[in-house]
């Protein structure tokens, strides 16, 4: 199945429009010169070759009408008036051809041959003075019919128009060959009645103009195309038309001059035809070969570009897949973090309610009992006023013990809520007091190492965050680690504070503790993360089951607060493990 090639535009290009204009212009001016020759008796304008047929006025008139019709029909966008004028001229050309042929066929005289220059035509010695030859009349009929169909703008008859133009071209070419080879029958009836040489040339030019009016349609669509067939046709057709005619003329001329005989002339014609046709075929084959090489190079370049594009697409797809996987991992982590945050918020509310219940229970059970005991003791002293004064000191001593116990309970309760030392004495003192009391209460050894002194205080929110982080970390150690020793390192550096809490307990799975909300021991870790995030820091957790745990918090210190350059301690050794926190 042949591929369908669709032209982008039916209109001729600039060269083809120029060819049509030149054809119509040459036909008009040659006819004008012929009329001038008849008016001024210049024989050269009437017949180019002396003693040969001349172009009669009716022929020149037919060429003028045909040229005007071709000029007006050169573009499809012409006006209605121009199309009507073109049709009228085409009808007149058809009438010239038909009437002249009818005169030859029926041997009649319609009195149209001597309309102008009657005296000069009668003195020419012709058997049909002023009458165009049958060849010329037939060509006028062909050309006029083609122009009439062209002016009618019938899109379905372009093949017929081009067929009529090609037939006219071949008739004129035969006349031209007759002049070249000296065969009178090909161009005329007698030596005085026939198609003049410039008449044949003018018919060839006007026929070519007709072919190039709409070259994108009909028979000319292949020749005018940009395909390999179009290029080959444009290269071969002119040569295949002109070269054999010229070669045959030269050979016939040699025979007439008796330079060689007819058999040698035939051999020379065959050999010359072979050489010329071989050269033409080689030239076109070379052109097609170069075109094929160019197409092959273009195909290879296109294939390489396609392969490179495929590789880039694969690489890009792989990159996008990696990015997509990373995004999915981030989304999953974000969802886990959001779920953990929501669980943290719910548990914070629960913890707040539990803390309130604990405070209520402490106030009721501990402080309430001591206050009730104090009230009972005071009533006893009041009701026993008649008792011996020797028992008064013992009763007062009991009251004093109850009041001291009550003060201790209130102090412990206030200390658990927020130690006053953190606000009054600073982070170092508050942590030292807390670690000491925590160690006494939990019976776990704690080593506190710090280079922070209370002379240069950190911002209150940072001190509070550090205190709560250490407090929560120690509470987690007490609840879950089962450790024997804990190391707390608090180190201030150039622009940050590093907090390290390390234990030698049983360890845990970090991801499970943080991202599984159902694990209750993850609440403290999430709380520490939230506190570190609020002050712009980062929290790192390192732990494995059976290997203890290390919590490292890095909290930035504003430049206004970081005026003192402090250097950290070397690695601290706890048990059998040593770590360095840079």
Q: How far apart are CA 180 and CA 248, in angstroms?
A: 9
Q: How far apart are CA 177 and CA 186, in angstroms?
A: 8
Listed residues 192, 221, 250: the one ending a domain = 221
Q: How far apart are CA 385 and CA 371, in angstroms?
A: 21
Q: Identify the three-state secondary structure at position 213.
A: coil
Torsional class of 536: left (φ above 0), alpha (ψ -120 to 50), beta (otherwise):
left
Q: How far apart are CA 312 and CA 413, in angstroms?
A: 68
Q: How far apart are CA 405 and CA 370, in angstroms?
A: 8
Q: How far apart are CA 541 and CA 49, in angstroms?
A: 114
Does some domain include residue 350? no
Structure confidence at residue 77 (pLDDT)? 67
Tens of pLDDT along the chain (582 residues) come to 444 444 444 445 666 678 888 999 999 999 999 989 888 888 888 888 777 888 889 999 999 999 999 998 877 767 888 888 999 999 999 999 999 999 888 888 888 878 877 777 766 556 677 888 898 999 999 999 999 888 766 666 788 888 999 999 999 998 888 888 888 788 876 656 788 889 999 999 999 998 888 777 777 777 777 777 777 777 777 877 777 777 777 787 777 777 878 788 778 778 887 888 788 888 878 887 888 888 889 999 999 999 999 998 988 888 998 999 899 888 888 887 777 776 666 666 566 656 666 666 666 556 666 666 667 666 666 666 555 555 566 666 766 777 777 676 676 666 566 666 666 667 788 888 888 888 888 788 888 888 776 566 778 788 888 888 888 888 888 877 777 888 888 888 778 888 898 888 887 777 666 655 445 455 567 777 777 888 888 888 888 787 788 888 888 887 655 444 333 333 333 333 334 333
Structure confidence at residue 526 (pLDDT)? 73
Token pair, residue 570, equals 């070397």
Closest to 549 in 3D by CA, of 491, 505, 498, 489: 505
Write the CATH number for 433: 3.30.565.10
Show the domain range for 449.
421-579
Listed residues 175, 200, 221: the one ending a domain = 221
Q: What angle do the packed helices 80-106 and 134-151 form, to 10 degrees? A: 150
Listed residues 221, 245, 264: the one ending a domain = 221
Given a contact cutoff of 8 angstroms between Cβ atoms, the answer to whether 526 and 514 are in contact is yes
Does some domain include residue 469? yes
Side-chain-side CA neighbours of 65 within 13 Å: the count stands at: 25
Q: How many structural domains are present in the chain?
A: 2
CA 116 to chain centre: 73
Side-chain-side CA neighbours of 320 within 13 Å: the count stands at: 6
Does some domain include residue 243? no
Does some domain include residue 554? yes
Structure confidence at residue 19 (pLDDT)? 82
- Provide the terminal-to-terminal Cα distance of the chain, rounded to the nearest Å: 78
Does some domain include residue 306? no
Structure confidence at residue 573 (pLDDT)? 35
Host H or E run for residue 281: helix 262-361
Does some domain include residue 359? no
Does some domain include residue 490? yes
Q: Identify the three-state secondary structure at position 450.
A: strand
Does some domain include residue 351? no
Structure confidence at residue 415 (pLDDT)? 59
């Amino acid at each position: 199945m042949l591929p369908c090639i669709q032209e982008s535009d039916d209109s001729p290009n600039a060269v083809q429009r120029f060819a049509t204009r030149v054809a119509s212009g040459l036909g008009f001016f040659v006819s004008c010169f012929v009329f001038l020759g008849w008016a001024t008796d210049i024989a050269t304008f009437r017949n180019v070759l002396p003693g040969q047929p001349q172009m009669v006025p009716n022929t020149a008139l037919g060429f003028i009408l045909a040229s005007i019709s071709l000029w007006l029909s050169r573009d499809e966008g012409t006006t209605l008036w121009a199309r009507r004028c073109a049709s009228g001229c085409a009808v007149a050309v058809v009438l010239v051809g038909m009437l002249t042929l009818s005169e030859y066929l029926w041997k009649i005289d319609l009195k149209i041959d001597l309309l102008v220059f009657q005296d000069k035509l009668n003195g020419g010695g012709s058997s049909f003075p002023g009458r165009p030859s049958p060849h010329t009349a037939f060509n006028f009929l062909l050309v006029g019919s083609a122009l009439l169909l062209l002016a009618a703008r019938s899109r379905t008859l372009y093949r017929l128009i081009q067929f009529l133009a090609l037939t006219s071209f071949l008739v004129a070419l035969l006349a031209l060959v007759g002049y070249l080879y000296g065969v009178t029958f090909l161009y005329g009836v007698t030596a005085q009645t026939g198609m003049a040489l410039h008449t044949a040339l003018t018919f060839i030019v006007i026929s070519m103009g007709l072919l190039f009016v709409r070259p994108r349609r009909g028979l000319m669509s292949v020749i005018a195309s940009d395909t390999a067939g179009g290029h080959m046709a444009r290269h071969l057709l002119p040569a295949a038309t002109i070269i054999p005619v010229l070669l045959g003329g030269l050979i016939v001329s040699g025979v007439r001059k008796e330079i060689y005989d007819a058999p040698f002339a035939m051999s020379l014609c065959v050999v010359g035809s072979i050489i010329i046709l071989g050269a033409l075929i080689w030239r076109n084959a070379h052109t097609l070969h170069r075109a094929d090489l160019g197409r092959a190079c273009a195909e290879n370049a296109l294939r390489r570009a396609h392969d490179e594009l495929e590789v880039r697409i694969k690489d890009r797809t792989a990159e996008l897949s990696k990015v997509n996987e990373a995004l999915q991992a981030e989304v999953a982590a974000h969802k886990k973090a959001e779920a953990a945050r929501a669980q943290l918020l719910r548990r914070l509310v629960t913890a707040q309610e539990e803390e309130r219940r604990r405070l209520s229970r402490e106030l009721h059970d501990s402080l309430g009992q001591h206050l009730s005991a104090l009230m009972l003791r005071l009533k006893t002293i009041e009701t026993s006023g008649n008792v011996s004064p020797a028992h008064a000191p013992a009763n007062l001593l009991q009251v004093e013990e109850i009041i001291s116990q009550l003060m201790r309970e209130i102090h412990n309760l206030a200390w658990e809520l927020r130690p006053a030392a953190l606000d009054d004495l600073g982070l170092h003192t508050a942590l030292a007091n807390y670690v000491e009391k925590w160690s006494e209460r939990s019976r776990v050894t704690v080593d506190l190492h710090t280079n922070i002194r209370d002379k240069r205080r950190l911002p209150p929110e940072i001190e509070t965050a550090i205190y709560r982080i250490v407090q929560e970390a120690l509470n987690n150690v007490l609840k879950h680690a089962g450790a024997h020793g804990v190391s707390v390192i608090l180190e201030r550096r150039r622009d940050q504070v590093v907090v390290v809490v390390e234990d030698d307990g049983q360890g845990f799975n970090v991801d499970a503790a943080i991202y599984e909300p159902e694990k209750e021991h993850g609440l403290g870790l999430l709380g520490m993360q939230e506190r570190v995030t609020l002050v712009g820091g980062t929290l790192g957790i390192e732990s494995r089951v059976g290997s203890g745990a290390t919590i490292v918090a890095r909290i930035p210190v504003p430049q206004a607060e970081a005026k003192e350059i402090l250097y950290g301690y070397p690695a601290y050794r706890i048990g059998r493990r040593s770590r360095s926190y840079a």
